[in-house]
Amino acid sequence: MKHPVSRVNVFYGCGEYRLPTPVEPASAWYIRKGRTGNTTPAACLPFGKYSVCAYTGGYPAGYGVNMLHCGGPVVDKLWSEMPFIGLSHFHPSGTGKIGAYYNYAVTAPGYGPYTSFADAFAPQRVEGEDACPGYYAVTTRSVRCEATVDRRTAIHRYTFRDEAALATSGGRISINFANDGLYRDARRELYRTASGSVRILGAGEAAADVTLEGVTLHFRVKLSSSQGAALFERDSLTDGDELSFTDEEACGVTFTVREPQIVLHMAVSLRDQAHAAQLLCDPQSFDGARAEAYALWDRALSAVEIETDDPIEEEIFYSNLYQSLVKPCDLSGESFLAGFGDGPFVTDLATMWDMYKTELPLLLTLYPDISEKLLASFQRTCETIGKYPQCLILSSDMQLSVNQARMLADFTICDAYYRGIRADYGGLIDGAVRDSARFTDFFGKADGGAAEDPAVLCGNYASHLLDMAEASRALSLAAAQCGRQDAADYFSRFAPRWREAFSPDGMLRDDAEYYEGTRFNYSFRPLYEMEERIALCGADAFRAACLRFFGFTHKDDPLTCRFEAFNNETDMESPYVLGAAGLRRELYAVIRAGLDSMFSVGRGGLPGNNDSGGLSSCYLWNALGIFPMAGFDRMFLSVPRFSRAVLHLHNGNDLTIRREGDGDPVRVLFGGEDVGLTSFPVTDMMRGGELVFYTA
């Protein structure tokens, strides 16, 4: 297949899930979280700055018809059918309730003069949507609205279909620079207001400086043709060419147009207006930008080739790969963090507690440019604010989702080291040591005082304890290989503390808390010292517990004791404890049932929040038959879904994965050498070669 981009459905995961009837053991799993993928079909580039699609106010990305939904069998609806309010810019992807939702600069076409905000931004009935990578279009009764992007600008094209209305009343394009987030009514948990200013620069050009989520964005807009412009605040047009506003929800500019087709270029800078103006210089044509975006997506998606005769399998695989490459966003040269400078900067790491397990290892394996920028961004962020981020989005609130997890960037630093990503690992390890100082409940006080009593360790989150103990082990191993024995010795002292999270019965403590899960999810988390962890239960008891957790036995157990079915990324790596416990047949059954039962095609194809690519990357690794152990030089083995796949690694080497037969693996060879059935090193994988699964 020469052009994987042609197999992508960009609407994948955009709606409430519609999945096949589950096969065993998937029929016993627990659907805990949201039943929507929460992605968007926005026009964007791989790791691109902009995203543009229809704004509806729907949760959580401002697209679609859903209200707030974080779990339960019913997804309440904000709209009975898909509306169109305008095109919005910047969107989260696949997230849940993260507290910041973007949807900036809502741009709405219409006819006649601006009379009120409610009229200019009234929901319109959608007659159709059309999209492919790098392009999005929505058609209403009277206007067709198209969007594409390049590295510098977002580009709209409006075709006014009602010729009589255009001739009589003229056309209108209005931009609300104060929009921030989702629908505004009693069903919305939080609504913020914007502050800033808007200026008219000419008949078809405007600029705005707006503070949204505590971050100032500098907008510059230029139309291909306009008869004039005016500023509005709510329902009133204002005199003059400049308008300042504070704590506003509706404020912007409206343009009068007469041409049947108008192209709008929008540039956004986090630096200043001069930079925004520079981005808008010498703009591309709409069709040229669309073609370039499509080619960039084809190049990015070509990093993985699969061989299958099933077009549905191709669509599922490449749609998941597409959704894995939407985030994070490359905003190099435009950091909003004070004192950061104009170097590499990567943002929209909105759900790192999911991304670090699957999506970030995928990027580090295949995509060197964004990977190098990610590592440099981590290092500079730590130097600037004194800590590594775990949720870095376009928000000045660095405490968003602070209770979700700990020390996630440290896992990614180690993953990057084993994959050979160019970075200042000495500086990154120094940052890890500096970052650890804030976790006095685990690492102790700066003056050498002991950590708090284990009974209240880590705010009573046993999951945090596991995060930090495993991160400490990963850092100790990577630091030793980097020649930083001082840091290796420091972190190795704390790595054994994972034992404190467990009860005498060998399962995690039932008097502790767990983010987005229960003690059962985390009791089956693969640990570096897995043999010792199994020994806490005893091998037979641990195997029995595994069979129960994954639904092979005790089918009348409460659902809260069960595997969360790839619906919640909290335990998406848990199946690989089955291999460590010697339950390989059951491992293969879980992986097959998961891919067969929990992933499908189209809008309903994802079984829950995609979480910035975390869930879609989980599908990819499992379909390839290998799965990363975050932070360690280890790739788990299962069973490939395809007879052959090729990964074009970031260093120029190729990893070919081949499956002989259709049964369970009985032998796995890498480079002609037997590697067993459980795992093989990341460092070996990155040298390239052929990984062959022989099945029976």
Look at residue 455 in the predicted model and tell me its pLDDT.
46
Q: What's the whole-number mean pLDDT along residues 33-57?
A: 97
Locate 70 and state its tokens. Answer: 């974080």
The CA distance from 245 to 254, in Å, is 16
Look at residue 341 in the predicted model and tell me its pLDDT.
86
Q: What's the whole-number mean pLDDT along residues 682-688?
A: 98
**pLDDT tens figures, 505-519:** 999 999 998 988 899
Locate 27 and state its tokens. Answer: 């029929």
The CA distance from 188 to 619, in Å, is 32
**Cβ proximity of 46 and 25 under 8 Å:** no
Statement: the pTM of the whole predicted model exceeds 0.85: yes
Domain ranges for the chain, please list them. 39-298
Q: Domain 39-298 has what CATH class? A: mainly beta
**pLDDT tens figures, 413-438:** 999 999 999 999 999 999 999 999 99
- Where helices occur in 55-123 by DSSP H, the ranges are 117-120
CA dihedral defined by 22, 28, 29, 32, rounded to 10 degrees?
Answer: 100
User: What's the distance, CA 386 to chain centroid?
Assistant: 24
In this model, does residue 575 exceed pLDDT 50? yes
The burial of 500, by beta-carbon neighbours within 10 Å (0-12 exposed, 13-18 middle, 19 or more buried), is given as middle
Look at residue 450 in the predicted model and tell me its pLDDT.
55
**pLDDT tens figures, 177-226:** 999 988 765 344 455 678 999 999 999 999 999 999 999 999 999 999 99
φ and ψ at residue 227, rounded to 5 degrees: -90, -10
Percent above pLDDT 90 for the chain = 88
What is the average pLDDT score of the chain?
94
Comparing 601 with 513, the larger pLDDT belongs to 601
**pLDDT tens figures, 320-333:** 999 999 999 999 99
Position 170, amino acid? G
Look at residue 184 in the predicted model and tell me its pLDDT.
61
CA-to-CA dists, residue 384 to 381, 431, 557, angstroms: 5, 11, 49
**pLDDT tens figures, 261-276:** 999 999 999 999 999 9
Look at residue 187 in the predicted model and tell me its pLDDT.
43
CA-to-CA dists, residue 287 to 259, 294, 406, angstroms: 18, 11, 45
Look at residue 244 in the predicted model and tell me its pLDDT.
96
The CA distance from 466 to 481, in Å, is 23
Look at residue 16 in the predicted model and tell me its pLDDT.
95
Look at residue 451 in the predicted model and tell me its pLDDT.
57
Q: What is the CA radius of gyration of the chain?
A: 26
Closest residue by Cα to residue 161 from 153, 152, 171: 171
Peptide bond into 60 cis (omega under 30): yes
